Amino acid sequence: MKHQVRKEQGYHIVTLTGEIDLETSPQARQILLGTVEQSEKLLIDMASVTYIDSSGIATLVEAFQRAKKIGKQVAFICLNPAVVRVLSLARLDKVFAIHANIESAMHADL
Protein backbone atom coordinates (compact mmCIF):
# COMPACT_ATOMS: atom_id res chain seq x y z
CA MET A 1 0.00 0.00 0.00
CA LYS A 2 1.20 3.50 -0.84
CA HIS A 3 -0.15 6.78 0.39
CA GLN A 4 -0.02 10.51 -0.23
CA VAL A 5 -1.35 13.36 1.89
CA ARG A 6 -1.99 16.80 0.42
CA LYS A 7 -4.06 19.90 1.17
CA GLU A 8 -6.33 21.35 -1.47
CA GLN A 9 -9.05 24.01 -1.17
CA GLY A 10 -9.30 23.57 2.57
CA TYR A 11 -9.48 19.79 2.45
CA HIS A 12 -6.87 17.32 3.59
CA ILE A 13 -6.84 14.56 0.99
CA VAL A 14 -5.33 11.18 1.88
CA THR A 15 -4.83 9.07 -1.23
CA LEU A 16 -4.40 5.35 -0.55
CA THR A 17 -3.20 3.05 -3.31
CA GLY A 18 -3.03 -0.75 -3.48
CA GLU A 19 -4.30 -3.30 -0.97
CA ILE A 20 -5.44 -2.57 2.60
CA ASP A 21 -5.22 -5.84 4.48
CA LEU A 22 -3.95 -7.40 7.69
CA GLU A 23 -0.38 -6.50 6.74
CA THR A 24 -0.94 -2.90 5.63
CA SER A 25 -3.89 -1.74 7.76
CA PRO A 26 -1.66 -0.69 10.72
CA GLN A 27 0.10 1.74 8.36
CA ALA A 28 -3.25 2.98 7.00
CA ARG A 29 -4.50 3.43 10.59
CA GLN A 30 -1.50 5.55 11.53
CA ILE A 31 -1.88 7.76 8.45
CA LEU A 32 -5.64 8.25 8.79
CA LEU A 33 -5.75 8.86 12.54
CA GLY A 34 -2.83 11.26 12.26
CA THR A 35 -4.49 13.24 9.48
CA VAL A 36 -7.89 13.33 11.20
CA GLU A 37 -6.32 15.31 14.03
CA GLN A 38 -4.89 17.93 11.64
CA SER A 39 -7.83 18.50 9.33
CA GLU A 40 -11.27 20.05 9.59
CA LYS A 41 -12.37 18.35 6.38
CA LEU A 42 -10.83 15.06 5.35
CA LEU A 43 -11.23 13.22 2.05
CA ILE A 44 -10.02 9.62 2.03
CA ASP A 45 -9.37 8.85 -1.64
CA MET A 46 -9.59 5.10 -2.20
CA ALA A 47 -10.15 5.25 -5.97
CA SER A 48 -6.89 3.33 -6.46
CA VAL A 49 -7.43 0.84 -3.65
CA THR A 50 -7.68 -2.57 -5.29
CA TYR A 51 -8.61 -4.66 -2.24
CA ILE A 52 -9.80 -4.14 1.31
CA ASP A 53 -10.60 -6.66 4.03
CA SER A 54 -12.14 -6.48 7.51
CA SER A 55 -8.95 -5.12 9.05
CA GLY A 56 -8.95 -2.29 6.51
CA ILE A 57 -12.63 -1.67 7.13
CA ALA A 58 -11.95 -1.51 10.87
CA THR A 59 -9.34 1.15 10.16
CA LEU A 60 -11.81 3.24 8.15
CA VAL A 61 -14.44 2.92 10.90
CA GLU A 62 -11.96 3.98 13.54
CA ALA A 63 -10.94 7.07 11.56
CA PHE A 64 -14.58 7.89 10.85
CA GLN A 65 -15.54 7.59 14.50
CA ARG A 66 -12.55 9.62 15.66
CA ALA A 67 -13.47 12.38 13.20
CA LYS A 68 -17.08 12.43 14.40
CA LYS A 69 -15.98 12.50 18.03
CA ILE A 70 -13.79 15.57 17.60
CA GLY A 71 -16.17 17.36 15.27
CA LYS A 72 -14.30 16.86 12.00
CA GLN A 73 -15.86 16.00 8.65
CA VAL A 74 -14.79 13.00 6.60
CA ALA A 75 -15.85 11.54 3.25
CA PHE A 76 -14.61 8.72 1.04
CA ILE A 77 -13.81 8.48 -2.66
CA CYS A 78 -14.42 4.97 -3.90
CA LEU A 79 -14.82 3.46 -7.36
CA ASN A 80 -13.48 -0.09 -7.38
CA PRO A 81 -16.45 -2.49 -7.37
CA ALA A 82 -14.59 -4.97 -5.14
CA VAL A 83 -14.01 -2.26 -2.52
CA VAL A 84 -17.57 -0.93 -2.82
CA ARG A 85 -18.79 -4.52 -2.35
CA VAL A 86 -16.89 -4.89 0.96
CA LEU A 87 -18.16 -1.52 2.20
CA SER A 88 -21.64 -2.74 1.35
CA LEU A 89 -21.13 -6.06 3.16
CA ALA A 90 -20.17 -4.01 6.23
CA ARG A 91 -23.24 -1.81 5.62
CA LEU A 92 -20.99 1.21 5.62
CA ASP A 93 -22.31 2.37 2.26
CA LYS A 94 -25.28 3.70 4.27
CA VAL A 95 -23.12 5.30 6.96
CA PHE A 96 -20.16 6.84 5.13
CA ALA A 97 -20.39 9.75 2.70
CA ILE A 98 -19.05 8.08 -0.46
CA HIS A 99 -18.36 9.97 -3.67
CA ALA A 100 -17.17 8.92 -7.12
CA ASN A 101 -14.42 11.53 -7.28
CA ILE A 102 -12.78 14.36 -5.37
CA GLU A 103 -14.58 17.05 -7.34
CA SER A 104 -18.02 15.72 -6.46
CA ALA A 105 -17.05 15.41 -2.79
CA MET A 106 -15.88 19.03 -2.76
CA HIS A 107 -18.95 20.15 -4.66
CA ALA A 108 -21.16 18.44 -2.06
CA ASP A 109 -18.88 19.90 0.68
CA LEU A 110 -18.48 16.32 1.99
Which of residues 10 and 18 has its CB atom nearest to another protein in the complex? 18
Shortest distance in whole angstroms from residue 58 CB to another protein: 4
Report how many residues bind another protein under the rule CB under 8 A: 22
Q: Does 110 bind another protein (CB under 8 A)?
A: no
Q: Which residues from 77-106 bind another protein, rule CB under 8 A?
A: 82, 85-86, 89-92, 95
Close Cβ partners of 23 (under 8 Å, ≥ 6 residues apart): none
Give the nearer residue to another protein in terms of CB position, either 47 or 93.
93
Residues forming contacts to another protein in the complex (CB under 8 A) are 19, 21-23, 51, 53-55, 57-59, 61-62, 65, 82, 85-86, 89-92, 95
